[in-house]
Amino acid sequence: MTKQQPLVIVCDPQDTNIAYYTEVIQAMGAVCLATSLGGNVVNLVASHQPALVILDSQLDEPDGYQLLNLLKSGKKSKHIPVLFVAGNLSERKMCLYDDMFALVEVLAKPINEQHLQRHIRHYLEQYEYRMEIDALYSEEKADPIANHEEGILASNQCGQIIFANYAAEQILKASSAELYGVYLESLFEETCTRVKSRWNEHPVAKVTAGDQILQVDKAMLWRRDGEAISAKFAAVPFASDKGIRLLFAFKQLKDTRESKDKLAKLSQVDHLTSLPTRSFIEEHIDRTVLKAGITGYYFAVLSVDLDHFRYINESLGHDRGDRLLKAVADRIYALVRRDDQLARMEGDEFVLVLSHIDAPENAGMVANKIIDRIREPFLIDGHEVFTGCSIGVSVYPTCGDDANILMKNAEAALSRAKAIGRNNYQYYTVEMNKLRVEQMQLEYELHQALEQKQWRIQYLPVTTRDRNKVVACEVRLTWVHPTKGEIPLEAFLSQAEEAGLAPTLFRWLWQQALNRFDQLPDDSKAKVRLIMPTSPAILLQEGGVDWVINAIARVGLNSDQIFIELPESYYTLRHSQHGEVLNELCRNGFNLILDSFGTGFAPLNLLKEVPYTLVKLSESFIAACEVSKTDQAIIKGVVDMVHQLGIQVLATAVDTPVQQTFLEAVGCDWLSGEAIDRDLEQTPQKLDDMGIFVFPG
């Protein structure tokens, strides 16, 4: 029977590089399968099960980093070794995803051919061992070792490790290259003082030398990072032509979730992030207050909260949300000093105590570093996730002299940071306590408003630039507060989202707004065009798009009659599922509007990636355009750019004739607002272009 040659898959965007790899790989007795398209690699690896993947960092859509993350999170590909080729050893993303590279070999360009050959030779050898051991498991009708949760090591007659499967790498926190040649006996010792191996005297060697299997239900093994783990193992004699004499199969023993939670509570450690919890950090702050009172130095308490984590958690799922929280904790921890203390409070909130700062403004410098670091993308199971954070800062002694006050004031400053747009930090001031109380009161009143239906829905006409045609209705929601009067949606939307009320609120809005059209004659219904505000909280829930489709079908409207407004902040959270939601809406015929463009963090390339019908200008620019030449220039620039991309522009809240004239002059295609309403009142025949207008509140 002819021996099958091992396969190496190469993914590189340059044909000259592919030719080079092919020559080297074939000279080493392996087959090379090469592609320049990253999108093909995951399926190729899953179907061919190669000995090695050589992956270049400089790929497009997905890039090398996203592709590596997909390979290492795929059930059929995670065990395949990857040789990652980077432009240099200091590529920014390599530092960003350093945890992902713990078990991945990296080569920097230009490649040292001897290093390349050494790596390829090692993984071809590992592949041969894997095939040999797989054959044994196949005879026993077991799954191949690649899919085993158990770690499997193979050693030679001297007791040196010559093979490690993927599970063993994961458990021991070491790559197969790092484990190669290490004596098996060293796994059982925290510190070894002797230079020469005594493998033949080790109990594992003695038992297996007599062709007996040794099984141990609980033993202590030492990982590469110095941590001890509890494991059960079986040592099995194994004779092969390639020099394997012993198979060592082991599995880490894990505590149950209940015992973990119990231990976490007792030890004041969060089981997810391994950070201290609230009770610990409160005690730590009180101890720091005592020290600072003696030494006279400043220290700061930073309350850090992820922006829009609720949406991310709902759309990615709680398991991935947990992994994001752990990654966030790791990034913050990497930025702080040894004497500083980071803790996880609850949910997506962290507290950082800067133990000794020379001046209060130093805390702001640290806060800025954290914001910049968290703003960079995370890779979670192949999803590139973007988020941000808001930070509140309180400084001892000016902001309080005990843990309770300092933490409360940091949270008040955090509330202020979120209220003014997120992704920033704020120092505590006395006025912020009043703001925090007001926000808590607002949240309580929002719950009441939902129960008591304290809402008014308006249908505002939208006209074309030449004022000759009414093209749509803009649906507006106003909170009719019993004491404060009318409050526009923009003034309480953020608080509703934070409180988790957005899904309930927007589902009610859609149902009520659409109900007004249910009884219209078909000829009038066909003329309806609705601009509907929405929240990611609806769309990102499971079945969210189906719910929207069913809501309009129930009243006899078609999807192409609906223009869905999506806030620009939606794109600060972007990952692949968000793109899938947008594509699903487009496939079903909905029109998309990018809301409040120019004030958030949506990247410009989204305007070409997503088939928007309209871009809606930020109302803050429109309000200021009468007096601010800067805002006029911004509006004109946005309109020109958007038109170049073939997208129309919507201007709402056009309240004065001066605003209307300016916006029409710079080319805004659709307009709505009080100025438009007054114009239509003078020429009511324009309302005949649609079968309905204008519903009373």
Residues above pLDDT 90, as percent of the chain: 50
pLDDT grade for 386, boundaries at 50, 70 and 90: confident
Lowest-pLDDT range of 50-54, 379-383, 550-554, 681-685: 681-685
- Block residue for tokens 């189906």: 546
Can you tell me the mean pLDDT for 128-142? 73
**Burial annotation 617-640 (CB, 10 A radius, 16+ → b, else e):** bbbebbbbbeeeeebbebbbebbe
pLDDT grade for 211, boundaries at 50, 70 and 90: confident
Condensed to tens digits (0 to 9), the pLDDT of residues 319-345 reads 888 999 999 999 999 999 989 999 999
pLDDT grade for 119, boundaries at 50, 70 and 90: very high
If DSSP codes are grouped into helix, strand and coil, which group holds residue 287? helix
**Burial annotation 167-201 (CB, 10 A radius, 16+ → b, else e):** bbbbbbebbbbbbbebbbbebbeeeeeeeebebee
Can you tell me the mean pLDDT for 666-683? 84
pLDDT grade for 1, boundaries at 50, 70 and 90: very low
Query: Which CATH homologous superfamily contains domain 7-128?
Result: Response regulator (3.40.50.2300)
Instruction: Show me where the domains of the chain are located.
Output: 7-128, 148-252, 261-429, 454-689
Q: What is the mean pLDDT of the chain?
A: 85
Can you tell me the mean pLDDT for 366-379? 91
Can you tell me the mean pLDDT for 584-595? 92
Give CA–CA dist 413/193, Å, rounded. 54
Q: Which CATH architecture has domain 148-252?
A: 2-Layer Sandwich (3.30)
Give CA–CA dist 217/636, Å, rounded. 73
Q: Which residue has the higher pLDDT, 141 or 33?
A: 33
Lowest-pLDDT range of 240-254, 274-288, 377-391, 662-676: 377-391
Indicate the class that CATH gives domain 454-689.
Answer: alpha beta
Query: Is the domain 261-429 a CATH 3.40.50.960 member?
Result: no
Give CA–CA dist 623/655, Å, rounded. 8
Condensed to tens digits (0 to 9), the pLDDT of residues 403-452 reads 999 999 999 999 888 877 788 999 998 776 666 677 778 888 999 999 99
pLDDT grade for 281, boundaries at 50, 70 and 90: very high
Q: Is the pLDDT of residue 241 over 90?
A: no
Q: Is the pLDDT of residue 562 over 70?
A: yes
Predicted pLDDT of residue 688: 45
Q: Which residue has the higher pLDDT, 385 or 578?
A: 385
